[in-house]
Amino acid sequence: MSETLSGLLTLTVLLGLLAATHAPLGGWMARVFTDDKDWRVERAVYRAVGVNPRSEQTWRSYAVSVTAFSLVSIVVLWAMIVLQKHLPFAQGTSGMGRSTAINTAVSFVTNTNWQSYAGEVGTGPLVQTLGLTIQNFASAAVGIAVAIVIIRGLARQQTHELGNFWVDLVRCITRILLPLAAIAAVVLMAAGVIQNLAEPMTIHSLAGADQQLRGGLVASQEAIKELGTNGGGYFNANSAHPFENPNAFTNLLEIFLLLVIPFALPRTYGIMVGDRRQGWTLLGLAGALWGLSVALTTWAEVAASSGVAGSMEGKEQRFGTWASTLFAASTTGTSTGAVNSLHESYSPLGGGVILTNMALGEIGPGGTGSGLYGIVIVAIITVFIAGLMVGRTPELLGKHIGRREITYAALYTVVTPTLVLAGAGASLAMSGPKSTMLSHGPHGLTEVLYAYASAANNNGSAFAGLGADNPWYNLTLTVAMFVGRFAPMILVVALAGSLVAQKKRPATAGTMPTHTPLFLGLLIGVALIITGLTYFPALSLGPIAEALS
Amino acid sequence: MTFNSLLKALPESLAKLDPRHVFRSPVIFVVWVGSILTTALAVVNPSVFTISVTIWLWLTVLFANVAEAVAEGRGKAQAASLRATRTETVARRLTRTGAEEQVPGTDLRVGDRVVVEAGELIPGDGDVIEGVASVDESAITGESAPVIRESGGDRSAVTGGTTVLSDRIVVQVTTKPGESFIDRMIALVEGAERQKTPNEIALTILLTTLTIVFLVTVLALQPFAAYSGKEQPVVVLVALLVCLIPTTIGALLSAIGIAGMDRLVQRNVLAMSGRAVEAAGDVSTLLLDKTGTITLGNRRATEFCALPGTRTLELARASYAASLADRTPEGRSIVELATTNHGVEDLTSETTMESAGAEFVKFTAQTRMSGVDYPSGAQIRKGAASAVTAWVRESGGTVPAGTMAIADGIAGEGATPLVVAERVGSSPAQVLGVIRLKDVVKPGMVERFDTLRAMGIRTVMITGDNRLTAQSIAREAGVDDFLAEATPEDKMRLIGEEQSGGRLVAMTGDGTNDAPALAKADVGVAMNTGTSAAKEAGNMVDLDSDPTKLIEIVAIGKQLLITRGALTTFSIANDVAKYFAIIPAMFVGVFPGLKALNIMGLHSPESAMLSAVIFNALIIIALIPLALRGVRYTPSGAAAMLRRNLLVYGVGGIVAPFIGIKLIDLVVSLLPGMS
């Protein structure tokens, strides 16, 4: 079977799986967040933490809960990492330096999973499982909870109640993430991903050197790593490592897992706001951006493969070009950041596209929850500009986009570009950080830009080539991850607060329709022009300059 | 906009370079700061390029001021002519004892009573409390025909600065000097009290954040550039920043708002705030009074329905005779109908009208009939069916069965039947037939309501008529709903219901009892002929007192918002081309490959950057007429409107600068130092 044919076949199967799961999963999530009954295990949790599951929160209270939960998570995770050599199952890992530890803690709590350390060396099974994996669940659930809040802001009216964070968090884990991750882990195990607590094994390689092989609870972590769009690999090589991603089937499954929730959430949105067509438009934006980046990356890499050097450097033979680019476009489009190939080795265009995926703010389709609320922000900006053109005060789903609403939405769009450009600019202006760059010229610029784009947009993938495990990068990237995660989240919750208080205005022939192909085209245009143009100067000195030279 | 008006706006525009003024528009303020910076650089290190960029940056700021000044200029001219009418007046104030004293108009206080006689100016706003007079209000309305103002009722309000033409009235002053209607009008058209409207504020916030994002982009570009081995001169970075930030809309935003108010003023509507104009665009329910708005004021006779045995001519003749002295619009319409159908000769030939002594019987509320008594003893009566049939029975006559059938039939259609009967000598009176009186819908209303429906606006007809009549007119006119036998409370309730459903309501009104509803409505247009209470309660005043204008007001509100949206879209879409002009120009030195991005084939890096800056400035001037006039607005559904505007201003906004910058570059490349 030719590579093109197998590539197209993989793509077809993937699309089939996504299409088949879209409606049931989207519907199920809508039910989870509107159900008025609690499961027994959930009630136990609420009793344990002392939460009344029937009490609803205002936006302020919700935002405080999100931040407090995340801050506590960071402290606990940081302590576990720093203290791990004193804990059982350390398997000889010595822990990390303090700046690396804080970077790692923030990274996992913000759903970024940027790994300054080498996965299997920096953390033993205990921290991997009880620390990182728990955060893989929790951080994904926090993202989904915030997405549900903005949906409630649009769906409900004339109230201050936006739901209960603890209920949303717990239900998201018990009813969505745990069951799906359990199934996925079993399938991954069956397909050859390892799952053990074996001590490290030393083998003598053919080349004569000694190599230490580590085991671990990999399949279970792998499942949530993809499903929660986390991306933090058990092993340093991430999904390129044969223990994490042994074959074409697991590769396909992992791509499916990282796309399944982000692509189903628009359905949840449509159901909860009472108009499924609205969900299709958001799905359309996510799908168009993802499709465009898959097509461009694949085209770029396939074109590069006919060159003198070929394009297999940094890609696994067992996946080939198509399955690698599909993974790369999906992992950068979903804020996952898991990798099955080395992004640094991509052709300038291919690398530029996956960088742009993150720069657009992770909306094609974006991370679990964060993608959806990012898309809603784009919709609000679009409605504001275009809505005026039909001669009315702009409105989305009957809610006015006035002074407060546009302030939150506009500030949202300022946050990540500022973090990325300021971070990358500062790094290049100083001699210290510049010295750890592997490449020079435009490719080096791309490395640094990529690192900050990845951190601020909570992607977590590394372009590689940049020696980022030093205090400057550890700390600035930590700031980028933290601010890039929580500033937008708080803005979104505040936005939901001002939307939910409003009365819904009935749609008339004078209302701008937000479910038409024209509006979809407009969404894509605004996403590309408003966000994309911000990065154009930087991109033109990085990937574009490289591609054109 | 003529060249002349631009020239006239120039001194004002220069005065507006004051940073305190420029700061009001954050986008233009950034350009202003950039201009100062490049001026300093041009002084320290002069070059053709730096000086040219500096000049054009200052022009960008200046053009923004010109836009605002031109827009304000139109209002100022209007204010000047208004101010001319506000001459010093001497008021004849009545003391408590009833004596008159002469005081300056500016000394009048609320509650003072003044006497105004023919030929005198009314010294202040107030209500007529005694007498009736014809008043020339052309100073405010521009309408030369005098209007009647009388005490009591809904025509009692008079405006300071207008002239009494006949008779004598006593006016009770209702506003303090300096706060009169004319004073407020002057302030409004001058834009002195102009405050940013909610939507304008929201748009400014978006534009400001875009400016911040681009500021970050440009600031971060310098280390990237330095790393790439091509540190950029500050003047280039300033040029890039100015080209990227949304200067076009930033420059025109306040002009668009002022022009929107001005368009209303040109249609003789005064909006008390910009917020009201914006709300007009959002209106989704229009409450329209039936009489005067939907129908031609009064009921008109449309048909003579003769009873069997009576010729139509005979009925027409009797109706004509009975209505000749009837000065009501209904009476005149009967005369008119009879004359058109039969001709005056036919009508008068067999009657004895000319014979002296015919006595006309006036309509009274008691008899509910009018008619004529001839000296011969013959009598004709027309009136409500019950009254006329009673009169017939009284005289010993019988009412044919067909009479009530016809009358009920007419009433059933929502029209009004008038029964006509005749009594000759001492024989019993007999019914001749029935006149059909009907409300006539103004021509063109059906189409207008169709358009409104397509725009998503619901129309509700308000009338004091009974349900049946109201329903029939509503159906004929094509309104969506109606409120029959409406009381002021009903109106309030209706507005409340619409608003609680999330709809914005617009209405017109003139009476004091309309005031609460006018205040409650999102857009309340008071008629200038109305009471001062009504004018106080509404947020707009129509000087022509034409209730149909509500529909135009909605269109102007929409046009204002559309113009803002269209120019914002245009402004942002422009950035694409500017990037393609400037970015390759900045870095083609270190990365020759970037030449491929120079798709416009611009002459040199310097000419490319300068051309983008010039385009950026000139587009402001080019769009001033559009900002003042408003973009073309054809009432249609939102989807169609979006498609059209997106094509023109979105796609056009991407394409236009590619062409514009290229053309400018052809000229700029001829400058020295542009190699």
3-state DSSP of A9-25: HHHHHHHHHHHHHHHHH
Q: Tokens 């997405």 appear where? A: A147
Question: Cα separation of A144 and B668, whole Å?
Answer: 55
B599 touches chain A (CB under 8 A): no
Position B12 pLDDT exceeds 90: no
Q: Phi/psi of residue A176, each to 5°?
A: -115, -60
Is B210's CB within 8 Å of A407's CB?
Answer: no
Q: How many CB atoms lie within 10 A of CB A167?
A: 24
Q: How many CB atoms lie within 10 A of CB B401?
A: 8
Question: Cα separation of A72 and A78, whole Å?
Answer: 10
Question: Cα separation of B315 and B306, whole Å?
Answer: 6
Residues of chain B contacting A392 with CB distance shorter than 8 Å: 281-282, 558, 561, 638
Position B350 pLDDT exceeds 50: no
Longest dimension (CA), chain A: 76
Cα Rg of chain A (Å, integer): 22
Question: Cα separation of A35 and B577, whole Å?
Answer: 51
Sheet holding B163-164, edge to edge: B147-150, B132-136, B163-164
- DSSP secondary structure letter of residue B542: E
Residues of chain A contacting B216 with CB distance shorter than 8 Å: 414, 417-418, 421-422, 534
Could you tell me if B613 and B530 are in contact, meaning their C-beta atoms sit under 8 angstroms apart? no
The pLDDT of residue B417 is 87
Q: Tokens 């495990």 appear where? A: A469
Is B597's CB within 8 Å of A544's CB?
Answer: yes
Question: Cα separation of A233 and A221, whole Å?
Answer: 8
DSSP-H helix ranges across A313-429: 320-333, 348-359, 370-388, 403-429
Considering only alpha carbons, which residue of chain A is nearest residue B559?
A: A391
Lookup: tokens for B447: 């189409």
Note if B289 is an active site residue. yes
Nearest-CA neighbor of B141 among B529, B561, B604? B529
Could you tell me if A372 and A397 are in contact, meaning their C-beta atoms sit under 8 angstroms apart? no
Could you tell me if A338 and A331 are in contact, meaning their C-beta atoms sit under 8 angstroms apart? yes
Listed in sequence order, the residues at least 6 apart from A360 whose beta carbon sits closer than 8 Å to its beta carbon are A289, A527, A528, A531, A532
Q: How many CB atoms lie within 10 A of CB B115?
A: 16
- DSSP secondary structure letter of residue A162: -
Q: How many CB atoms lie within 10 A of CB B98?
A: 7
β-partners of residue A341 are A315
Section B414-428 average pLDDT:
84
Is B454's CB within 8 Å of A509's CB?
Answer: yes
Considering only alpha carbons, which residue of chain B is nearest residue A549?
A: B593
Could you tell me if B511 and B531 are in contact, meaning their C-beta atoms sit under 8 angstroms apart? yes
Nearest-CA neighbor of B675 among B34, B47, B42? B47
Question: Cα separation of B303 and A357, whole Å?
Answer: 75
Residues of chain A contacting B551 with CB distance shorter than 8 Å: none
- DSSP secondary structure letter of residue B124: S
Question: Cα separation of A405 and A501, whole Å?
Answer: 12
Q: Catalytic: which of B125, B127, B289, B542? A: B289
Helix, strand or coil for residue B648? helix
Question: Cα separation of B561 and B455, whole Å?
Answer: 15
The pLDDT of residue A92 is 64
Considering only alpha carbons, which residue of chain A is nearest residue B581?
A: A537
Residues of chain A with pLDDT under 70: 1, 89-95, 118-122, 308-310, 438
pLDDT, one tens digit per residue, over A237-285 is 788 888 888 888 999 999 999 999 999 999 999 999 999 999 999 999 9
Cα torsion B378, B383, B385, B390: sign: negative
Question: Cα separation of B666 and A427, whole Å?
Answer: 40
Which amino acid is present at A57? Q
Which ipTM did the prediction report? Answer: 0.92
Query: How big, in percent rounded to 5, are the helix, strand and coil portions of chain B?
Result: 55, 15, 30
Position B349 pLDDT exceeds 60: no
Considering only alpha carbons, which residue of chain A is nearest residue B571?
A: A385
Is B217's CB within 8 Å of A537's CB?
Answer: yes
Half-sphere exposure of A31 (CA within 13 A, CB side): 8
Residues of chain B contacting A549 with CB distance shorter than 8 Å: 591-593
Strands (E) located in B290-399 = 295-306, 359-361, 369-373, 379-383
- More reliable by pLDDT, B591 or B15: B591
The pLDDT of residue B499 is 87
Listed in sequence order, the residues at least 6 apart from A179 whose beta carbon sits closer than 8 Å to its beta carbon are none
Helix, strand or coil for residue B164? strand
Section B108-125 average pLDDT:
84
Cα Rg of chain B (Å, integer): 34
Residue extents of the structural domains in chain A: 366-548
Residue of A377, A383, A389, A546 to mutate, interface with B, max B Cβ within 10 Å: A389
Question: Cα separation of A513 and B291, whole Å?
Answer: 36
Residue of B228, B248, B588 to mutate, interface with A, max A Cβ within 10 Å: B228
How many Cβ pairs closer than 8 A exist between chain A and B?
A: 219
- DSSP secondary structure letter of residue A240: G
Is B199's CB within 8 Å of A388's CB?
Answer: yes
Could you tell me if B463 and B477 are in contact, meaning their C-beta atoms sit under 8 angstroms apart? no
Listed in sequence order, the residues at least 6 apart from B326 whose beta carbon sits closer than 8 Å to its beta carbon are B332, B334, B335, B363, B370
Is B638's CB within 8 Å of A513's CB?
Answer: yes
Nearest-CA neighbor of A392 among A521, A529, A514? A514
Position B354 pLDDT exceeds 70: no
Lookup: tokens for B505: 């309501």
Residues of chain B contacting A388 with CB distance shorter than 8 Å: 199, 203, 561-562, 564-566, 568
Residues of chain B contacting A545 with CB distance shorter than 8 Å: 228, 587, 591, 593-594
B227 touches chain A (CB under 8 A): yes
Could you tell me if A128 and A217 are in contact, meaning their C-beta atoms sit under 8 angstroms apart? yes
Is B216's CB within 8 Å of A398's CB?
Answer: no
Q: What is the mean pLDDT of chain B?
A: 84
Listed in sequence order, the residues at least 6 apart from B447 whose beta carbon sits closer than 8 Å to its beta carbon are none
Position B1 pLDDT exceeds 60: no
B220 touches chain A (CB under 8 A): yes
Is A389's CB within 8 Å of B453's CB?
Answer: no
Could you tell me if A213 and A196 are in contact, meaning their C-beta atoms sit under 8 angstroms apart? no
Give the burial class of B181: count Cβ atoms within 10 A of its Cβ; 0-12 exposed, 13-18 middle, 19 or more buried. Answer: buried
Q: How many CB atoms lie within 10 A of CB B15?
A: 11
Helix, strand or coil for residue B509? strand
Q: Tokens 């809603």 appear where? A: A376
B592 touches chain A (CB under 8 A): yes
Task: Work out the minimum CA distance from A20 to partner chain B, whole angstroms.
Answer: 32
Pick B284's closest partner by Cβ from A418, A508, A534: A508
Section B581-594 average pLDDT:
89
Preceding peptide of A88 cis, ω within 30°: no
Helix, strand or coil for residue A239? helix
Nearest-CA neighbor of A402 among B211, B505, B506, B206? B206
Is B458's CB within 8 Å of A414's CB?
Answer: no
Lookup: tokens for A418: 């500022």
pLDDT, one tens digit per residue, over B163-218 is 888 788 888 888 877 777 777 777 776 765 567 888 889 999 999 999 999 999 99
Confidence of residue B2 (pLDDT cuts 50, 70, 90): low
Could you tell me if B37 and B61 are in contact, meaning their C-beta atoms sit under 8 angstroms apart? no
Helix, strand or coil for residue A97? coil
- % pLDDT > 70, chain B: 93
pLDDT, one tens digit per residue, over A24-77 is 999 999 999 999 899 999 999 999 989 999 999 999 999 999 999 999 999 999
Which amino acid is present at B154? D
pTM of the shown model? 0.87
Lookup: tokens for B228: 């790439």
Cα torsion A509, A511, A512, A514: sign: negative
Question: Cα separation of B180 and B167, whole Å?
Answer: 24
